[in-house]
Amino acid sequence: MLPGPPETRHHMRLLTEPPGRLTARDAVVTKAAMGLPVIPIDHLSFVFQPRPWPFANEHRAEIDAHFARRRASRPQIWNGRVVLADDYEIIGRSLSGHCFETDFASLLAWSDWEFPQADAIDFFAMGALRSADGAFLLGVMGEHTANAGRIYFPAGTPEPGDIVDGQLDLAGNLRREVAEETGLAAADYDAAPGWHAVPVGRRLALMKPLAAPASAIDLQQRVRHHIAREANPELADIRIVRSPADFDPRMPPFVTAYLDHCFRHLAR
């Protein structure tokens, strides 16, 4: 099955084709160098299904104390509302699941404490921004953010405002996050119709390729100008990645797994 502890696996079921044919896993999963699957997705759907989160309710006092400590060192983080996944499954090239609303302080504590209860999934859309000359551009998170110094594609945790007609609009969430972090509007890149899913433990990264017509240097300069204009920019800088030689320890495994997947396919 997929990487992760046994309690993770019931949340993601990768169903197979009929006997005698390639399984879905064989057909669509590329194992990156670090062993994480990178799964092409043509159809993505999360239905909003409100429910209480036992972790948040049972550990309220500890969560609030943890958030107060975190906020003491980074006063600009705030306890807004966010959306987590309840479960999901992948059948062929389709991913579907359910999601619910909670508070950011509970998500932050759950993540910082290394996911002590396996009753939710931290999932998010990431904009895999690629220049006309083939490089990827990743943001360095600002010092005032909860993930200071980490290097990611533009991304953000889904919010209740991303729920449209009972469904989570991850494409809309992604457009907003890319604009907020980089200053790039949807007209500045061509978003691929599909996604790539990279599951790792209790996290699910959903990568959408964004092809920009500008060079990497031009895009980097434009994003840096945006950062300089912002009073409280989410990013401290923007990095250019042209090959695995540009990987950085501050990039999380799901980012380097996806980049490795892309560079391997380019080399074929």
Q: Are 104 and 83 in contact (CB under 8 A)?
A: no
Regarding pTM above 0.85, the answer is: yes
Write the pLDDT tens digit of every residue in 1-27: 222 333 333 344 433 232 222 223 333
All residues at 6 or more sequence positions from 103 whose CB lies less than 8 Å from its CB, including other chains: 56, 79, 80, 81, 82
The span from the CA of 12 to the CA of 125, in Å, is 17
Q: Quote the number of domains for the chain.
A: 1
Q: What is the residue range of 42's domain?
A: 6-266
Question: If pLDDT is split at 50, 70 and 90, which confidence band does 28 have?
Answer: very low
Kindly state whether residue 48 falls inside one of the protein's structural domains: yes
Q: How far is CA 44 from CA 62, 92, 125, 180, 197, in A?
A: 35, 12, 11, 23, 10
In sequence order, the β-bridge partners of residue 41 are 195
Q: What is the pLDDT of residue 265?
A: 85
Kindly state whether residue 1 falls inside one of the protein's structural domains: no
Kindly state whether residue 261 falls inside one of the protein's structural domains: yes
Q: Are 59 and 109 in contact (CB under 8 A)?
A: yes
- CATH classification of the domain holding 71: 3.90.79.10
Q: What is the pLDDT of residue 1?
A: 27
Kindly state whether residue 197 falls inside one of the protein's structural domains: yes
Kindly state whether residue 158 falls inside one of the protein's structural domains: yes
Q: What is the pLDDT of residue 268?
A: 63
